[in-house]
Amino acid sequence: MAKQNKKGIKSKMILERANTKPDVEFHYTPEELVKYCLSLLNFEKEDVVLDVGAGKNMVWYNNIKIAKKDFCEIELGKDFFEYKEDVDWCIGNPPFKFLWKMMEKSFEISNKGVAFLMAIDGINRFTPKRLEYIKSKGFYINKIAIVNCKKWFGRYFFVIFTKKPNNFFEWSLLNYGDTKLNSEGKFFLSQP
Ligand SMILES: C[S@@+](CC[C@H](N)C(=O)[O-])C[C@H]1O[C@@H](n2cnc3c(N)ncnc32)[C@H](O)[C@@H]1O
């Protein structure tokens, strides 16, 4: 089958799906995927775990097998940005639009870990400056589980941050495109 035809069929399928299912259902995380992601987290018995944007389906919240759990959901009148308590973990599938803002708040209120499911655009938000910020809050990317969800757009990433230091991820704050010529006609990197 010609490449373009395949693409056309895929677009048609996505459109059909979007037209037949309510948008909100489309964004809900499949329960088996939630269970897999949660299985990667080592909660301790007394930990307080917060689902930052539970959705009306509460699929993450309902699968957290621990006594001290809580949730936020704007549509149920619980705005994460107004959450006042400290917790041990912030977890879930945050809305893409507020992903970084929610991560920032999560690093403020979590004692042990932050674990969010995100698309590649989410990964792309880890600029060196933000990674530096995350480190300044005492968190490190500890694990990234790569998962498929073909009802969405393919590959997704469950990113787990904990306070266990590691130097697996490295970054530089320099802008390597920012070069100048010196008096000898050689390029050098101008510092920020
Ligand atoms: C991608 S959906 C995920 C829903 C559900 N957790 C799931 O995985 O199926 C993100 C959810 O975050 C909610 N949300 C958006 N802004 C929020 C906020 N400021 N506080 C709490 N929840 C919020 C949305 O209403 C939506 O239900």
In this prediction, residue 99 carries a pLDDT of 96
What is the reported pTM?
0.85
In this prediction, residue 22 carries a pLDDT of 46
Mutate to test the pocket of ligand 1, among 93, 103, 106, 109 (most ligand atoms within 8 A of CB): 93
Number of independent structural domains in the chain: 1
Domain limits for position 94: 3-189
| Ligand 1 center from residue 74 Cα (angstroms) | 7
Report how far apart, in Å, the C-alpha atoms of 172 and of each of 45, 132, 140, 192 are.
38, 9, 16, 12
How many whole angstroms separate alpha carbon 160 and alpha carbon 140?
A: 8
In this prediction, residue 134 carries a pLDDT of 97
Q: What angle do CA 140, 162, 41 make, to 5 degrees?
A: 135
How many whole angstroms separate alpha carbon 20 and alpha carbon 31?
A: 21
CATH at residue 80: 3.40.50.150
In this prediction, residue 12 carries a pLDDT of 54
| Ligand 1 center from residue 82 Cα (angstroms) | 14
- The tens-digit pLDDT sequence of the chain (192 residues) is 445 456 556 555 544 554 444 455 667 899 999 999 999 999 999 999 999 999 999 999 999 998 899 999 999 999 999 999 999 999 999 999 999 999 999 999 999 999 999 999 999 999 999 999 999 999 999 999 999 998 887 899 999 999 999 999 999 988 888 788 888 888 888 765
How many whole angstroms separate alpha carbon 154 and alpha carbon 12?
A: 16
In this prediction, residue 25 carries a pLDDT of 60
